[in-house]
A and B are shown apart, each in its own frame.
Chain A
Amino acid sequence: MASLVICFFGVVLFLAHCEVSASSDQMCIEKEANKTYNCENLGLSEIPDTLPNTTEFLEFSFNFLPTIQNTTFSRLINLTFLDLTRCQINWIHDDTFQSHHELSTLILTGNPLIFMAETALNGPKSLKHLFLIQTGISSLDFIPPHNLENLESLHLGSNHISSINLPKDFPTGNLKVLDFQNNAIHYLSREDMNSLKQATNLSLNFNGNDIRGIESGAFSSKVFQSLNFGGTPDLSVIFSGLQNSTLQSLWLGTFEDIDDQHLSSATLQGLCDMSVESINLQKHHFSDFSSTMFRCFAQLQELDLTATHLEGLPSGIEGMNSLKKLVLNVNKFDQLCQINAANFPSLTHLYIKGNTKKLHLGVGCLEELKNLQKLDLSHSSIEASDCCNLQLKNLPHLQSLNLSYGELIGLQREAFQACPQLELLDLSFTRLHVNAPQSPFQNLHLLQVLNLSHCFLDTSNQRLLAGLPNLRHLNLRGNRFQDGSIPKTNLFQTVGSLEILDLSSCGLLSIDQQAFRSLDKMSHIDLSRNSLTSNSIDALSHLKDAYLNLASNAIGIIPPHLLSILSQQSTINLSHNPLDCTCSNMPFLTWYKENLQKLEDLEETVCANPPSLQGVQLSDVMLSCGITAVGIFFLTVFLLLVSILLILAIKFFIRWKYQHL
């Protein structure tokens, strides 16, 4: 008997444990109903029953599937994307994906694969992307070649591959990306490259392989979209190996953790024998920098010399006449004139971002760049007390100018007259000094986007934005307004074409009802991170179908007369406000539930008041306030009865009085 009790106890314990484990089972996250699910990091050893048969995108990384076979995913026949990263897969058995005709992306990164069956990848009608990164592959014949005719990208990084020679029957006809990053490839032979001859416009990545030799003629008369030999210590090997090839882009940069040889003009000589459009040499050192260094760059369209320790470029560089795009980011220039811009008369794009020294703009240093369309001088500690007509002299075609994250720029009237074609101007996080009532942006007739966020502007200058007839997008984030309010007459009156306005983090307490009257084209307004109350919503009454961000403000109660203003907008964000969930805010709460499809960030839109509902999502609040229709009916009947009784009583009293007279 005792043992029976004990057994019963044991069973109870067992059941209790089952219950505990069931409740601690975490669920997959539904990202898109019936379609996209994320089951990462759940330690699952099978596909959960809760996933619908219609699942198309499944993120299943960091689970536990030592063996996968044709029963493992058989229920999910609509899969198009399957991520099995680090699922500790050892075996991929026959016909695992037999019924998955739609599968196009399969990610097997970081699995200790022992064997893939011949028919392991059969089934999908068009398998396009296969990731076999860090799966321990040492030979390419490990990959079953059947059913790879449609493959567009094959990722084989971080394996033990030493030869890229693909097996004879390996189809490469549709291959566009072949990635061999961080392998042990030291030599590329003609035979290796010939195994890829059916591929057109191929991008080949050998980044992190220590290439020590290329058989001469291996790349001869071949065409590539891009080749990446990042981190290769000896570039002369690469140049001599690439003779007679045609490349769209060639990435030859190196890294912080790799000792590189200094590049000399003799090394770069090899470029004369090939055709390249774009080249990257980031983080290299140049020795004997002379004007003949780039002798062989004549056909080059794009040159990236990011962080190449440059203090200047010599004048009279030969053969850079056709260069269109030059990247000189993270170098050590003192003066903009040190780049000797006259070397690059065809330049349309120039980037000097993140200069490690304070960059002085000088006078007319870029005036030879008559075709320049885009100039980026951001993060380069630029300081100029009177900008920018002398500094940017003669740039008639400049469309995009980035001066963000500078130090201090003083702007006078018509400060950008030198570049009248500007369409985009970014001055964010640069302290601007403008004397009121000057209009520094006057006459920028084509300017569409102006970023003035965190510029410490004097927003009381009503003429600040004058002369911008086509401005569509204005960012004033992080600027202060006097007394925290936008008055009736303000700087927006001159920019009637505005469609997007960002006024977040401006310390605003109120906005006058008429403040935005002139802005009738506005479709997107961001007023988040201020201290606005619902009173300011009145200023938006003329907007229709707009995106309205009121997140992180001080909105508690929204009175009924403002609800129509909200109703006429397309999307509204009211999250992180101290919203009132008492009966005094009943009309808004009702409106909220009726307009959930218009509202953004519902999870963060919670009650602050009353204390009992603090933190509860507004959409979950159920309130019953005041009297209902039935209540009103009974009350009316009751009052009616009372009054009838009263009349009767008075009648009776009067009659009684008369009778006793």
Chain B
Amino acid sequence: MNGFTAALLVWTLISPFHGGRGELWPTHVACRNEDLEVFYQSCDPLQDFGFSIDECSKKLKPKLSIRFGIILREDIHELFLDVQLSSKGSSILNFSYPVCEDDLPKFSFCGRRKGEQVYYAGPVDNAGFEVPEGEHQVLLKLYNENGSTVACANVTVICS
């Protein structure tokens, strides 16, 4: 049986790692509190990213502070965010928001290049509102001027 074991060992050792593509990225916690939990999962097949919200509360404050870490796979001279909000399978709200534009780079990371690792800790431009009770699905997509994906997230918000 020796030869067989050896062959098997060699085979497993030189087998390429088939992780990543095709498999799903793990689900992470963006924030967790008594009344609000936010989970997210990267829907970019190429990579995961890190994200957290500093204050987690049912009553979302305006200008939330977030932390965000990612490797850029595209230049972001122009960057746009699409948000699709749905609850119980029906779509509630869709909107698109420019994050970086040629004539208005809102954030200090605007204009950074493909291949750069970006870490952002700072405010976002959100309005304050109260999250209604229940489970909500949010699809977030960041893409650049060519429509190429920069980041994609499936977010689940559970509010009790």
Residues of A within 8 A of B (CB): 3, 6-7, 9-11, 13-14, 17, 21, 24, 41, 61-62, 85-86, 107, 109-110, 131, 133-134, 155, 157-158, 181-182, 207-208, 230-231, 253, 255-258, 282-283, 304, 306-307, 327, 329-330
Contacts and interface: CB of A to CB of B under 8 A. Distances in A.
B104 A329 contact: yes
B4 A158 contact: no
B117 interface: yes
A306 B71 contact: no
A208 to B, nearest CB: 6
A255 B108 contact: yes
B115 A3 contact: no
Interface stretch (B77-85, B120-128, B136-144): B120-128
B7 A13 contact: yes
Contacts of A155: 113
Contact of A110 (B111, B117, B120): B117
B112 A327 contact: no
Contacts of B71: 86, 110
* Residue among B15, B108, B115 with the highest chain A CB neighbour number at 10 A: B115
Interface in B58-110: 71, 73, 103-108, 110
B113 A17 contact: no
B10 A158 contact: no
Contact of B113 (A9, A11, A133, A257): A133
A303 B136 CA distance: 45
Contacts of A14: 7, 10-11
Interface residues of B, number: 34
Contacts of B111: 181, 207
Contacts of B24: none
B147 interface: no
A484 to B, nearest CB: 27
Contact of A258 (B3, B8, B15, B108): B108
A133 B72 CA distance: 12
Given A134-B115, A304-B103, 19 more contacts: A3-B2, A6-B2, A9-B7, A13-B7, A21-B16, A85-B115, A109-B116, A110-B116, A133-B113, A133-B116, A155-B113, A157-B112, A182-B112, A253-B105, A258-B108, A306-B104, A327-B103, A329-B103, A330-B104
A133 B115 contact: yes
Interface in B1-28: 1-4, 6-8, 10-11, 14-16, 18
9 contacts: A10-B11, A13-B8, A14-B7, A17-B11, A24-B16, A110-B115, A155-B113, A230-B108, A253-B105
B107 A255 contact: yes
Contacts of A208: 108
A155 B15 CA distance: 39
Nearest to B14: A17
Contacts of B116: 109-110, 133-134, 157-158
A7 B3 CA distance: 6
A131 B108 contact: no
Interface string B17-46: 010000000000000000000000000001
Contact of B115 (A9, A11, A109, A207): A109
Given A109-B116, A256-B122, A6 B106 contact: no
A549 B82 CA distance: 28
B3 A257 contact: no
Contacts of A207: 108, 111
Q: 9 closest pairs, A vs B, by CB?
A: A10-B7, A257-B122, A110-B115, A85-B115, A109-B115, A6-B3, A6-B4, A255-B108, A86-B115
B77 to A, nearest CB: 12
